[in-house]
A = this chain, B = another copy of it.
Amino acid sequence: MYRPEIKVLDCTIRDGGLINNHQFDMDFVKKVYRASAGAGIDYFEIGYKNSKDLFSTEEYGLWKFCDDHIIEEVIQGIESKTKISCMVDIGRVNMDDIKNADESPVAMIRVACYVKDIDKAIAMANGFYEKGYETCINIMAISRDQGPELDEAFEQIERESHVIAVYLVDSFGYLYQETVSALTRRAKAIIKTKEVGVHFHNNQQLAFGNTIEAIIDGANYLDATIYGIGRAAGNCNLELLLGFLKNPKYDIRPLLDFISTDMLKLREEIEWGYILPYALAGMMNEHPRLAMALRNSDGKENYREFYETMQSTSTDCL
């Protein structure tokens, strides 16, 4: 019943790090890796490879930079087939800092970009490919970029890159499954020699449902996080995804243990999940930044006022 081509990527630490400036301690990250590896997850995305010239190591934790020796500390002593992935943003990485893949614990590097930056993303991804890494391109905020330039981006990636997968990223948690289906089919129609992947945000409680939709339409690379952790509303829940996939190589039990012992506690310290301002921002196809600001203010539960402000802001742009 299962599709062997499907690969699951756990981005608990990478996307979760967007909530707390990547300040997870080493012990916690080891535990997450152990749970994920024990669950048979294919890829474990541990953070960003950002240049220390651009970001302060005092303000941001280890997983904003992901030095190879730090990653080695995480994985040492844990036997597993789970591969390590890092994400990079356009213009935030010093290519000279990146060793060749055969000297690094990192197997895959994913380049995140908007449609308008696709040329830069392809150049970067090809640079990593030449260093021996598996590569992906993650097209962010795809709900805002559904015009013909998206097809051009798909065509260009297909023609000019060596990526394993092109990810459709619903950064704003806006998409309903009809659009997911249309976008996945559109990508599959152009991208013939690479896989299509998906990364959904859970603003409207649709991250899991949309992932299922994309699977039906042929997406094989799937992002998820333990207990749905991630910026704002968070992501597709890894434990739900494993419940859906029938591949016997996956085992939900290490995730259940880890949620019981660590994630419930973490959820009391930092916030993600179904929270009305994030749901409303998702409905309106808006970046969650205003909702995040609201959640850090005294008026954090003033949902109606937030909704009306967002609505009049949208109307203003006429």
Contacts and interface: CB of A to CB of B under 8 A. Distances in A.
Contacts of A240: 204-205, 279, 283
B301 A264 contact: yes
Number of identical protomers: 2
Interface residues of A, number: 39
Interface string A211-228: 011001000000000001
A59 interface: no
Given A274-B273, A279-B243, A176 B256 contact: no
Given A205-B240, A240-B283, A257-B303, 8 more contacts: A177-B177, A177-B209, A177-B213, A209-B213, A240-B279, A252-B307, A256-B307, A260-B302
A133 interface: no
A-B CB proximity, top 4 nearest: A209-B209, A256-B303, A243-B283, A256-B304
A253 B307 contact: yes
A279 B244 CA distance: 11
A135 interface: no
A208 B204 contact: yes
Interface in A218-266: 228, 237, 239-240, 243-244, 252-253, 256-257, 259-260, 264
